């Protein structure tokens, strides 16, 4: 487990469309083992490991590297910064958070403000505050002082370091989906150390949180035969979780195998059988219409790709304190690497 690399990934600010910082961290690390590195106009990063078979049969292992965040929309005459969301936020968790704004002048610290509860009417006190009613206070005295530090369109993320709850459980923002990008890195690295017959491309994809955008581009850029998408999924081991909808999913309970309309049945079966071979617990999660992950756009890209989905159990998704298990990350990487080692240029995933 490379905790130092994971920490760098998690703490690098990179909301959708502004993923430069975490992507650089991913690329710099991958330089040590990739046969070649490339990235495209959307910022998707590609790390190639050549197989031993000499064919063009290629497998993609992909996790999106963007996170949800915010964007500056207005700076008022008093120097307060107004903002909108990047990706899907629960407004209730945004109130009072510490913020880092990524500006051309460097990082700018701020706090999210709202009218104090003491000043609200009893009726308003019972209503959740909307993001449109919040602002960022960067300590500026007026608009002139604020615009010298930040600009319209600057992105922002929640501030803070990962919290190690135990030796295995970490809590932080951006677990969705730096953990998937981490697993894509680790699985491809494992295959670089013990090469498969087929070619492998590890991908840190961009802009998933605003519409699975990077996944469509990578599908046509690589046109792989097989792609394994990585993401987080809702754990159901906390109070109020819906096991009837999301299944028996526990943090630390193993990587989750997606099964459903956006997943190739033979890829799913291969991952399931590999988990059994490794004596690894890998619960199955079903999705009838869509998975809500990059697997959806990869399979719908029209590039004729057999898609699998492996997910990391996550508590409190899309919050500043998402909780994951480090063991789940390593097991997911080992599972995918072993599955890929079993592939040959003759591997056929047609139904």
Q: What is the DSSP letter of 315?
A: B
- pLDDT-derived band of residue 336, with 50, 70 and 90 as boundaries? very high
**Cβ neighbour number for residue 315 with a 10 Å cutoff:** 23
Residue 246 pLDDT exceeds 60: yes
C-beta of residue 120 within 8 angstroms of C-beta of residue 128? no
Tokens of 267: 């890829």
d(CA 201, CA 186): 12
Reduced to 3 states, what is the DSSP secondary structure of residue 63? strand
| pLDDT for 348 beyond 60 | yes
Q: Residue 151 has which token pair?
A: 């600009």
Classify residue 3 by burial, with Cβ atoms within 10 Å: 0-12, 13-18, 19+. Answer: exposed
- Structural tokens at position 55: 């064919």
pLDDT 10s digits, 259-315: 999 999 999 999 999 999 999 999 999 999 899 999 999 999 999 999 999 999 999
Do the Cβ atoms of 171 and 163 come closer than 8 Å?
Answer: yes
- Tell me the catalytic residues: 208
Burial (CB count within 10 angstroms: exposed 0-12, middle 13-18, buried 19+), residue 120: middle
Looking at every residue in the chain, the average pLDDT score rounds to: 95
Q: Across the chain, how many H-helices and E-strands are there? A: 10, 17
101 or 242, higher pLDDT: 101
Give the contacts of 85 (CB within 8 A, at least 6 positions apart): 68, 69, 70, 71, 131
Domain boundaries 69-158, corresponding CATH code: 2.40.30.40
Any idea where the domains of the chain sit in the sequence?
Answer: 3-67+173-341, 69-158
Residues 6+ apart with CB under 8 A from 250: 235, 236, 237, 313
pLDDT, one tens digit per residue, over 196-216 is: 999 999 999 999 999 999 999
pLDDT at 209: 95
Question: What is the percent of the chain with per-residue pLDDT over 70, rounded to a whole number?
Answer: 97
Strand order in the sheet with 45-49: 36-39, 45-49, 199-205, 58-64, 226-234, 306-314, 256-260, 284-287
Segment 27-58, tens digit of pLDDT: 999 999 999 999 999 999 999 999 999 999 99
Chain centroid offset of residue 176 CA = 4
- Token pair 């792609």: residue: 227
Looking at the domain that runs over 3-67+173-341, which CATH code has it been given? Answer: 3.40.630.10
Token pair listed for 79: 């120097």
């Amino acid at each position: 487990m490379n905790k130092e690399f994971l920490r760098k990934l998690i703490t690098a600010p990179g909301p959708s469309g502004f993923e430069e910082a975490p992507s650089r961290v991913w690329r710099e690390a991958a330089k040590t083992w990739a046969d070649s590195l490339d990235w495209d106009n959307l910022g998707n990063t590609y790390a190639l490991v050549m197989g031993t078979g000499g064919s063009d049969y290629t497998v993609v292992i992909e996790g999106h590297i963007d996170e949800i965040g915010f964007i500056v929309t207005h700076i008022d005459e008093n120097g307060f910064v107004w903002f909108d969301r990047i990706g899907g936020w629960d407004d209730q968790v945004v109130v009072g958070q510490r913020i880092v704004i990524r500006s051309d002048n460097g990082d700018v610290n701020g706090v999210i403000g709202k009218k104090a509860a003491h000043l609200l009417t009893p009726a308003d006190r019972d209503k959740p505050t909307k993001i449109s009613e919040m602002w960022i206070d960067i300590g500026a005295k007026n608009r002139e002082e604020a615009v010298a530090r930040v600009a319209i369109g600057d992105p922002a993320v929640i501030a803070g370091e990962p919290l190690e709850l135990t030796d295995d459980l970490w809590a932080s923002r951006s677990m969705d989906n730096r953990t998937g990008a981490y697993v894509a890195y680790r699985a491809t690295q494992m295959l670089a150390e013990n090469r498969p017959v087929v070619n492998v491309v590890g991908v840190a994809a961009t802009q998933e949180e605003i519409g699975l955008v990077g996944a469509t581009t990578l599908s046509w850029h690589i046109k792989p035969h097989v792609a394994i998408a990585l993401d987080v999924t809702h754990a159901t081991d906390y109070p109020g979780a819906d096991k009837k909808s999301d299944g028996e999913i526990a943090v630390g309970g193993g990587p989750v195998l997606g099964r459903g309309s956006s997943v190739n049945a033979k890829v799913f079966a291969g991952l399931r059988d590999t988990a059994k071979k490794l004596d690894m617990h890998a619960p199955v999660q079903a999705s009838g219409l869509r998975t809500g992950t990059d697997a959806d756009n990869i399979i719908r890209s029209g590039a004729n790709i057999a898609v699998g989905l492996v997910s990391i159990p996550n508590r409190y998704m899309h919050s500043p304190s998402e909780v994951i298990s480090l063991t789940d990350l390593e097991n997911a990487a080992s599972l995918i690497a072993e599955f890929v080692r079993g592939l040959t240029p003759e591997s056929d995933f047609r139904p």
